[in-house]
C-alpha cells in the first residue's frame, strides 16, 4: 500500500512535531511511520492536528489545524501580529530553543549536504539584545491594507482600509499589514512610523498602489546609529514636493522633540518596491549617519549597505579576525566586501588587505571609509566575482594571499569564484555565510580540494527569525 491509498487531501492527521525543516516548516511522523511536513507557527514537541494538503509518494504535506498540546519550548509572543507578519517566525519559542535549533540547522546542513561528519559546531553566539536590535527597517505604504481576521467585520475600518503603512503580508506584493510597533525596530523607529502615518493621514497623502503604479507615498526606510543615538528617516515617494517635505520635517521635529535625526526623501518612478531612489533630497540634517564598529568609524548614507545588527556585527567581525589569525606581513583578500567593513578590520592587522565587490557605490563608500579611518593598506576593486580570475594578475602586485575571507550573498559563491579562490591556495579560508545549505555545498568543494574544516561558529544576528550567520574556518592540509 502506498500513502496515496491511505490518505486524502483535506483529511486530519495527529502527530508530534519532531524537528524543524526547510522553509520554516516542521516535520513529524505518524504512528504508522509516515513522515509529515507541516506548515504553521509550530515548535518542536507540539502535539498537533494537521490538515493534509498533498499526498506525496513518500510523505505528506500538511498545515496546522489545531494545537492539541503545546511544546515546553513555547513562550507567549510579544507581538500582536505574530503569525500574520512574516518577519518573526520564531517569536513563539524561547530564545534558548531558537539558539538550539539554529545550531542544529548548521550541523544538519554540513552533515547532509556537505557530507562532513563529526564536525563540532560551536554553540550559537547569542545576540546581546533579543529585541529592538535592527539598525535598519523598511516599511511599505499601500492603498490595500491587509486585514486581520477580526478586522474584516469592523465597519470603522471602511475608510482606513485604503491606507496601510507597515510590512507586506507574506507572499503578497500588494497588501500591507499595518504595524504599530515592530519589536525588532528601535523605539525611535516606531515613533517615526507613527508620526509619519499621522502626517500622511492628516494630509491625505495618496498611498502607493502597486498594481496600478500610482500614488505618492511608497516606503519609509529608517536607519539608526547606536554611536550617536541618531535616526535617519528616508521617506520614499513617487515625486518631489518641496513644501510638503518641509511640512513633514516640521511635523517630525515637533512629534519627536529631543530626538537626533536626519531626514532624506528618495524619489523613484520605478515599478519595483526597492527604496533606492533615482534622486535623493536632503530634507533635514546632512543626510548621513555615523556609526562605529570596533575602532572604526563609518559614514552611512540612505542607500549604502551596512550590517543590520550593529553590536552583533562587532562580535561577528571579532570572530573572523580570530579565525583569520593574521600576521603583520600577511596579504588578505576580502571577497564580497560590501562597503569594506571587514576589509578595514583586516587591514588594521596585516600588511595589505584587498576588498572585492560588484556594486560600484559600495566600492566608493569602502574607499572613503578607508580614507576617513586613515587606513592606507586597503585596496578595493569592483568586480563580479564570477570573473575573479581576470583580476588575479592585477592583484599579484600585493603578493599571494595567506588568508582569504569570503562573505557571499545567500546564493553562496559562484562556482568560478570558488574555483579561482581555491587555485590561489590560501592557508586559511574564513567563510562567512548567511545560508547554511550553501555553506555546506561550497564547504564540501573546499574540503575536497585539500582543506580541513577546523571550526564552525554560528552567530545569531537575527533573533526571532530562523536566519543564522555562520563563520567557518578552513585550513589547507596539503
Ligand atoms: C553578505 S554581503 C557582505 C557584505 C560585507 N562583507 C559586510 O560585512 O558588510 C554580500 C555582498 O556581496 C556583494 N555581491 C553580490 N554578488 C556579487 C558578485 N557576483 N560579485 C561580487 N560581489 C557580489 C553584494 O553587493 C554584497 O555587498
Radius of gyration of the chain (CA): 24
Q: What is the mean pLDDT of residues 367-385?
A: 97
434 catalytic, yes or no? yes
Check whether 407 is labelled as a binding-site residue.
yes
Q: Give, for ligand 1, the residue of 296, 307, 336 to mutate: max count of ligand atoms closer than 8 Å to Cβ.
A: 336
Strand partners, 15: 48
Which of 391, 318, 368 minimizes the C-alpha distance to 348? 318
Q: Determine if residue 66 is labeled as part of a ligand binding site.
A: no
Instruction: State in Å: Cα 305 to ligand 1 middle.
Output: 9
Annotation-wise, does 336 bind a ligand? yes
Hey, whose CA ends up nearest to atom 26 of ligand 1?
Answer: 338
Task: Say whether domain 136-293 belongs to CATH 2.40.50.1070.
Answer: yes
Q: Is the pLDDT of residue 158 over 80?
A: no
Q: Where are the alpha helices (DSSP H) in 373-457?
A: 388-395, 415-423, 436-448
Counting ligand 1 atoms within 8 A of each CB, the residue from 339, 358, 419, 461 with the most, and so the one to mutate, is 358
Annotated catalytic residue within 141, 350, 434, 473 = 434
Give the pLDDT of residue 1.
80
Please give the distance, rounded to the nearest whole angstrom, from the Cα atom of residue 406 to the centre of ligand 1: 9
Give the mean model confidence (pLDDT) for residues 32-52: 94
State how far the Cα of 238 lies from the Cα of 26, in Å rounded to an integer.
41
| Alpha carbon distance 452, 116 (integer Å) | 10
Strand order in the sheet with 378-382: 378-382, 352-357, 331-335, 403-406, 428-433, 469-476, 451-459
Distance of CA 4 from the midpoint of ligand 1 (Å) = 45
pLDDT, mean over the chain:
94
Q: What is the pLDDT of residues 203-255, one digit of tens each?
A: 999 999 989 999 999 999 999 999 999 999 999 999 999 999 999 999 999 99
User: What CATH number has the domain spanning 112-129+309-476?
Assistant: 3.40.50.150
Contact residues for 99 (Cβ-Cβ < 8 A; gap 6+): 123, 124, 126, 460
Pocket around ligand 1: residues whose beta carbon is below 6 Å from it? Answer: 305, 307, 336-338, 341-342, 357-359, 362, 384-386, 407, 409
Nearest protein Cα to ligand 1, atom 27:
338
Ligand 1, residue 408: give the atom nearest the CA: 10
Which of 357, 413, 470 is the pocket-test mutation for ligand 1 (most atoms within 8 Å of CB)?
Answer: 357
Residues in the chain: 478
pLDDT for 394-451, tens place per residue? 999 999 999 999 999 999 999 999 999 999 999 999 999 999 999 999 999 999 999 9
Q: What does each C-alpha distance from 71 to 20, 98, 289 come to in angstroms?
A: 13, 13, 43
Check residue 157 and give its pLDDT: 53
Band of pLDDT at residue 275, cut at 50, 70 and 90: low
Task: Locate the ligand 1 atom nearest the alpha carbon of residue 414 and give its number.
Answer: 19
Cα separation, 84 vs 452, in Å, equals 43
CATH code of the domain made up of 3-69: 2.40.50.140
pLDDT digits (tens, 9 = 90+) for 255-272: 999 999 999 999 998 886
pLDDT score of 305: 83
Q: Is the pLDDT of residue 328 over 60?
A: yes
Q: What is the residue extent of each domain of the chain? A: 3-69, 112-129+309-476, 136-293
Position 170 confidence tier, pLDDT thresholds 50, 70, 90:
confident
How many C-beta atoms lie closer than 10 Å to residue 97's C-beta? 19
Q: Do 136-293 and 3-69 fall under one CATH topology?
A: yes
Task: Please say if the pLDDT value at position 160 is more than 70.
Answer: no
Mean of pLDDT values over 74-102? 94
Output the nine-digit C-alpha cell for 217.
507615498
- How many angstroms separate the first and last alpha carbons of the chain? 52
Q: Which DSSP symbol is given to 331?
A: E
User: How far does the centroid of ligand 1 lie from the alpha carbon of residue 357, in Å?
Assistant: 6
Residue 315 has pLDDT above 90, yes or no: yes
Higher-pLDDT residue of 155, 351: 351
pLDDT digits (tens, 9 = 90+) for 217-230: 999 999 999 999 99
Q: Closest ligand 1 atom to the C-alpha of 336?
A: 12
pLDDT at residue 155 greater than cutoff 80: no
Amino acid at each position: 500500500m502506498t500513502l496515496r491509498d491511505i490518505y486524502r487531501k483535506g483529511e486530519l492527521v495527529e502527530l508530534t512535531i519532531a524537528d524543524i525543516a526547510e522553509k520554516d516548516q516542521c516535520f513529524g511522523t505518524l504512528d504508522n511511520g509516515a513522515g509529515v511536513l507541516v506548515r504553521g507557527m509550530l515548535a518542536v514537541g507540539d502535539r498537533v492536528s494537521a490538515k493534509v494538503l498533498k499526498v506525496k509518494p513518500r510523505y505528506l504535506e500538511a498545515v496546522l489545524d489545531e494545537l492539541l498540546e503545546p511544546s515546553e519550548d513555547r513562550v507567549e509572543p510579544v507581538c500582536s501580529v505574530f503569525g500574520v507578519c512574516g518577519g518573526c517566525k520564531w517569536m513563539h519559542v524561547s530564545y534558548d530553543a531558537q539558539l538550539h535549533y539554529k545550531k542544529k540547522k548548521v550541523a544538519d546542513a554540513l552533515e547532509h549536504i556537505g557530507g562532513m561528519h563529526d564536525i563540532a559546531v560551536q554553540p550559537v553566539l547569542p545576540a546581546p539584545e533579543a529585541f529592538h536590535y535592527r539598525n535598519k527597517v523598511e516599511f511599505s505604504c499601500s492603498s490595500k491594507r491587509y486585514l486581520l481576521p477580526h478586522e474584516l467585520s469592523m465597519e470603522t475600518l471602511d475608510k482606513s482600509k485604503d491606507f496601510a503603512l507597515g510590512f507586506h503580508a507574506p507572499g503578497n506584493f500588494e497588501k500591507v499589514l499595518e504595524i504599530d510597533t515592530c519589536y525588532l525596530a528601535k523605539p525611535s523607529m516606531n515613533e517615526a512610523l507613527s508620526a509619519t502615518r499621522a502626517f500622511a493621514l492628516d494630509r491625505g497623502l495618496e498611498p502607493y498602489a502597486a498594481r496600478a503604479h500610482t500614488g505618492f507615498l511608497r516606503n519609509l526606510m529608517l536607519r539608526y546609529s547606536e554611536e550617536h543615538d541618531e535616526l535617519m528617516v528616508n521617506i520614499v515617494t513617487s515625486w518631489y514636493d518641496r513644501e510638503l517635505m518641509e511640512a513633514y520635517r516640521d511635523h517630525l521635529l515637533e512629534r519627536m522633540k529631543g530626538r537626533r535625526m536626519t531626514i532624506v526623501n528618495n524619489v523613484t518612478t520605478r515599478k519595483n518596491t526597492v527604496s533606492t531612489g533615482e534622486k535623493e533630497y536632503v530634507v533635514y540634517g546632512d543626510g548621513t549617519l555615523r556609526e562605529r564598529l570596533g575602532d572604526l568609524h563609518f559614514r552611512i548614507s540612505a542607500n549604502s549597505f551596512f550590517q543590520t545588527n550593529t553590536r552583533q556585527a562587532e562580535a561577528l567581525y571579532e570572530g573572523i579576525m580570530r579565525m583569520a589569525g593574521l600576521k603583520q606581513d600577511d596579504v588578505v583578500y576580502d571577497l564580497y566586501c560590501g562597503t569594506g567593513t571587514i576589509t578595514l578590520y583586516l587591514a588594521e592587522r596585516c600588511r595589505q588587505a584587498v576588498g572585492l565587490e560588484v556594486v560600484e557605490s559600495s566600492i566608493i563608500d569602502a574607499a572613503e571609509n578607508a580614507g576617513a579611518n586613515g587606513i592606507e593598506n586597503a585596496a578595493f576593486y569592483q568586480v563580479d566575482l564570477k570573473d575573479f580570475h581576470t583580476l588575479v594578475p592585477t592583484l599579484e602586485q600585493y603578493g599571494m594571499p595567506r588568508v582569504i575571507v569570503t562573505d557571499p550573498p545567500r546564493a553562496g559563491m559562484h562556482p568560478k569564484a570558488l574555483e579561482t579562490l581555491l587555485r590561489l591556495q590560501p592557508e586559511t579560508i574564513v567563510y562567512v555565510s548567511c545560508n547554511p545549505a550553501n555553506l555546506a555545498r561550497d564547504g564540501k568543494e573546499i574540503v575536497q580540494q585539500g582543506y580541513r574544516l577546523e571550526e564552525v561558529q554560528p552567530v545569531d544576528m537575527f533573533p526571532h527569525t530562523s536566519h543564522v550567520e555562520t563563520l567557518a574556518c578552513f585550513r589547507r592540509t596539503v
